[in-house]
Structure 1
Amino acid sequence: MNVIITEHARKRLRDYRQDKITVVDIITATTGIPGRIPTATRFRGFFAKSGRMFDIVAKDISDGRLVITVIGK
């Protein structure tokens, strides 16, 4: 599955709240979501390799799965 991370989500990874969450963590979490996501949906409770908890907002588009934003806990 092709995972597309928006520029907004990449920018948020530089914020303190999303500290220690990597692009690899986002891709791993996103590909682990089963089924199809027709509308933007918030998925909660993912853990980065660093142990930091985060949520993602994702949606399926024709090119793959679009990650709209990342929310650190």
Structure 2
Amino acid sequence: MKVIITEHARKRLRDLRQDRITIADIINAASGIPGRIPTATRFRGFLAKPGRVFDIVAKDIPGGRLVITIIGK
């Protein structure tokens, strides 16, 4: 499944709270969610390679899985 990351989510990666979370971490997290996501839903407890815990808000659209935002812990 194709993962699409919004410009808002990319911008949030530059914030201190999302430090050390990479695009690859987001793609792996979003790809690992099973099933279909018809409405924007928050998924908790993903782990970036450097050990940072984060949540993502995602939903499925006709073009793939849209990652709306990232929330670092």
Q: Aligned partners of 2:30, 2:67: CA distance in 1, in Å?
A: 8
Give 1:8's aligned residue. Answer: 8
Q: Which amino acid aligns with 1:51?
A: G
Deviations 1:7-66 (A, max 9, x none): 000000000000000000000000000000000000000000000000000000000000
Q: Give me the identity figure in percent.
A: 81
Give every structure 1 segment of 4 or more consecutive aligned residues whose post-TM-superposition deviation is greater than 2 Å.
none
SS in 1 for 2:4: strand
Give 2:22's aligned residue. Answer: 22
Q: Aligned partners of 2:23, 2:34: CA distance in 1, in Å?
A: 19
Q: Aligned partners of 2:2, 2:29: CA distance in 1, in Å?
A: 13
Give 2:48's aligned residue. Answer: 48
Q: Aligned partners of 1:28, 1:59: CA distance in 2, in Å?
A: 15
| 1:62 corresponds to 2:62 | yes
Give the TM-score, by structure 1 length. Answer: 1.00
Across the aligned residues of Structure 1 and Structure 2, the Cα RMSD in angstroms comes to 0.2
Q: Aligned partners of 2:2, 2:52: CA distance in 1, in Å?
A: 24
Q: Aligned residue pairs: how many?
A: 73
Q: Which amino acid aligns with 1:70?
A: I
